[in-house]
Amino acid sequence: MAVTKSTLKSAIYKLFYNCIGDNYPNPHTSRYLIYPSFSLDKLTDRTAYPLITIGSPFFNEEEFTFRETEYNCELDVSFYSTSKKDLDDMVQDIVKIIEDNTKIVFETNGVEFLKITSDGGEPFDHGSDKGNNAVLGHSETITFEMKVYLARITT
């Protein structure tokens, strides 16, 4: 099956989602831990934290052709927690999970990591103007820069 822009994005997203979801315990009993974006209904809901968002993989779509065999790609994974220590532990644990699964999961499926960077984290304040419904916490985004080999991508 030919790799298209959408199947490439979907395949890379699923690799990250499955790697994190299969190896990091969900502290919630009745909700998800991983989302494709930050949902506004989570802003003032303390029980929604911690949570993780995995952004859509980014590559230069204008250069996408079926003749190319590899592409550079970036993907952001963002972490949100009401505790700075819990956030730091979660980021460290998940980066380790991804590193531990690099050969088994990612390289086998055509993803070679080039660089992993962090925005350093920052505090957030969701709803402090609403009195008791304020959610104060911390967030951090890790950017994975990778080279993707189309011949090994499973779609």
Mean of pLDDT values over 117-127: 84
Q: What is the pLDDT of residue 44?
A: 72
Give pTM, 2 decimals: 0.88
Per residue in 139-149, pLDDT (tens digit) is 999 999 999 98
pLDDT band at 1 (very low <50, low <70, confident <90, very high): low
CA distance 51 to 34: 6
What burial class does residue 144 get, using C-beta atoms within 10 Å of its C-beta: 0-12 exposed, 13-18 middle, 19+ buried? buried
Radius of gyration of the chain (CA): 17
∠151-117-27 over CA atoms, to 5°?
90
Pick the closest to residue 147 from 62, 75, 66 (CA basis).
75
Structural domains of the chain in order of their starting residue, each with its CATH number: 5-152 (3.30.70.1700)
Between CA 135 and CA 120 the distance in angstroms is 20
| pLDDT over threshold 80, residue 29 | no
Cβ neighbors of 90 (< 8 A, separation 6 or more) are 24, 50, 52, 79, 81
Lowest mean pLDDT segment, chosen from 75-84, 114-123, 128-137: 128-137
Question: What pLDDT, on the 0 to 100 scale, is given for residue 2?
Answer: 61
Give the pLDDT mean for 111-126: 88
Distance CA 16, CA 9 (A): 11
